[in-house]
Homo-oligomer: A and B are copies of this chain.
Amino acid sequence: MSNNMVADHAIRPVENDTIFTISAKASEAVLKYGAENVINSSMGVLLEDNGDFVAFKSVYSYLKDLDNPKIAAYASIEGDSDFLQAIKKACFKNHMPNAYIEAVATPGGSGAIHHAIFNYTNIGDSILTSSLYWDPYNTMCVENSRKLDTYNMFNGNGGLDIDAFKEKFDYHLNKQKRLLTIFNTPAHNPTGYSISDEEWDKIINILKQGASNKENKIIVLVDVAYIDFCDEKFDRRAFMEKFAGLDENILILFAFSASKGYTMYGLRNGALLCVTSKEEIAKEFFYTNLHSNRGTWSNGTKGAMRVLTDIINDEKVGNPFYEEREHYVKLLRKRADVFLEKSREVGLELYPYKDGFFVCIPCKNPLEACEKLMKNNVFAIPLQTGLRFAVCAVSEDKCMIAPKKIKEVLAECDE
């Protein structure tokens, strides 16, 4: 007999999450050397300059004022109906595409990505994303016996490598006749890149070319986990309107997360939304994902749905929230600007950062660099071809000194 009780498809390595492991080491270092001497940029959560966790007061005071049954009762399987209306507004704001749109509640953005992978691909399929990517995409693909393939993310001009995308897209679509592509934008995790409107035009052209063969099924998942930490002035939702009037065999999905934008990380609140030119496809989306909810985790966190719904629909709840969030959007931008400026000064190369929680440093041997940085009490996450530095979790003062420290360590590593 084999030694496993789990089915063959579920045999996994005995290992925990890299981020969790490095974060634990950072906590040890804080105890040993004092918080002021440690730069912990490992965790993708927003912290105050003094290291305190940021939980929006407007969100939690409202949650705590809810009558108990509004937290305790089951939500509807698909998500409470007013939440499903509100989440569309929260996702698209004033750039709602002119198309059929449906939504189903999910536990955070992760649950939404799960459903997209599970329902819109087959076992063995390749799913496409950029060469720098959030590692759990791969975990989710492996979990569901899918494969993750990547295209080179950046061209030589600091933009998206559209040619590399097109090559892989055409290859897999031709082979599979069904392809799910994941774009994590704006404020890409791990690089902070945001695909520009002009780049979206090019991407959509490629999708349309693929759609001219009516046998093809083209599904694009836009993971907007960090969108609400983009400064409003950049108008990072404008691209959403481009998804109106697409061919019927192009389906656009959005994974919306309330984790960062509403500091609801631990409440597990999010949604999968669809944008399609065909009413039937929207209906199919709704019932398939409703069924997946019941068949996977049943339903979502009711109190969190209530809070988000009332923020969107009731100015009295919304206004203090938007004001509070705006403060932190500015705080984050300030940190990122400082990090970028100091990186330029010391000649530390970065992947093109536009918005969001992370900057990313290109690196030939990320594991080695990560180890060396830890010895210098700088904790960052090693990725495919870079080091992820979470400006969201590091004070402005430390963002000012980190680039020099990193530059020195990379030099030691012959980078």
Contact = CB atoms under 8 A, between A and B. Distances in A.
A294 B288 CA distance: 22
A368 to B, nearest CB: 25
Nearest to A253: B5
B249 A280 contact: no
Interface string A259-298: 1000111111000000010001101110110111011111
B20 A45 contact: no
Interface stretch (A26-34, A112-120, A193-201, A381-389): A112-120
Q: How many copies does the complex hold?
A: 2
B178 A7 contact: yes
Contact of A55 (B15, B72, B139): B72
A17 B297 contact: no
Interface string A300-333: 1111000000000000000000000000000000
A76 interface: yes
Question: Interface size class for chain A?
Answer: 35 or more
Contacts of A266: 71-75, 299, 301-303
Contact of A295 (B71, B121, B144, B214): B144
A74 B19 CA distance: 13
A296 B110 CA distance: 7
A167 to B, nearest CB: 24
Given A68-B55, A76-B20, A297-B297, A268 B107 contact: yes
Nearest to A15: B287
A346 interface: no
A8 interface: yes
B136 A295 contact: yes
A156 interface: no
A85 to B, nearest CB: 17
Given A12-B288, A15-B287, A114-B296, 7 more contacts: A5-B217, A5-B251, A17-B294, A53-B73, A123-B123, A267-B302, A296-B297
25 contacts: A5-B120, A5-B217, A5-B249, A5-B284, A5-B285, A7-B119, A7-B120, A7-B121, A12-B287, A20-B77, A55-B69, A55-B72, A55-B73, A59-B72, A60-B68, A72-B267, A111-B296, A114-B295, A114-B296, A123-B123, A140-B294, A140-B296, A143-B292, A266-B301, A268-B299
